[in-house]
Amino acid sequence: MMIIGDIHGKYEEYLSKIQSYDGPSIQIGDFGIGLRATPPDLFDQMKEYDARFFRGNHDNPKFCKMVPQYIPDGHVEGDMMMVGGAFSIDWMYRVIGHSWWLDEELSIPEFEEVTKTFETTKPKIMLTHDCPVDVIPYIHNHNSLFPSSRTQLAFQAMWELYRPQLWIFGHHHKSFDMTLDGTRFICLNELETLFL
């Protein structure tokens, strides 16, 4: 299984990656759905190469749900759980409904359902777009200048309930690999890949 970081609508580079790998892949948010025009055969090629994705904060949630290769929030597959969405720190410079969406993060009731699934299934691997609050200072080597988001706080609460072995995420546009309290956290940079 190949895991691919944010692609931000760089579809040619993304297609090159999935075409060069003989196996399934999952892209972990900021795909660019609804933000940039997609090539006409993109989803056919994704189907051919067993490539799927879940949403980030730079994806139109409504459009994502219309794509067959979309993985819904809270989906569990084997020993993996997947949750998309995140907060856009630059939301004030974006246009609502065009480059920013009110439902870019899961709602509190949605996170409550996801947390129940997480606690019940106890996945060994978490694939998410963002990460728990306590991981942020290690990624950026300082405390965040921005308040913690609903997504980060929800992931923090989940991590305090149960420690998966591995937590892979994107969103922060940095390569990062560190084990904290028994969980290995890996942040993938834009178009960076990891093989499970």
Position 100 scores a pLDDT of 86
Hey, where are the domains in the chain? 2-195
| Cα angle 6-139-195, degrees, rounded to a multiple of 5 | 45
Q: Could you tell me the CA-to-CA distances from 87 to 10, 33, 126, 161, 189 in Å, in that order?
A: 21, 16, 18, 22, 17
Bridge partners of residue 195, in order along the sequence = 2
Q: What's the pLDDT band for 113 if we cut at 50, 70, 90? A: very high
In 24-74 the beta strands, taken as DSSP E runs, fall at 25-28, 51-54
Q: What's the pLDDT band for 69 if we cut at 50, 70, 90? A: very high
**Domain spanning 2-195: which superfamily?**
Metallo-dependent phosphatases (3.60.21.10)
| CA dist., res. 154 & res. 37, Å (int) | 32
Q: Strand, coil or helix: what is 115?
A: helix
Indicate the pTM of the whole model: 0.95
Position 98 scores a pLDDT of 86
Arithmetic mean of pLDDT, 33-62:
94
Position 107 scores a pLDDT of 97
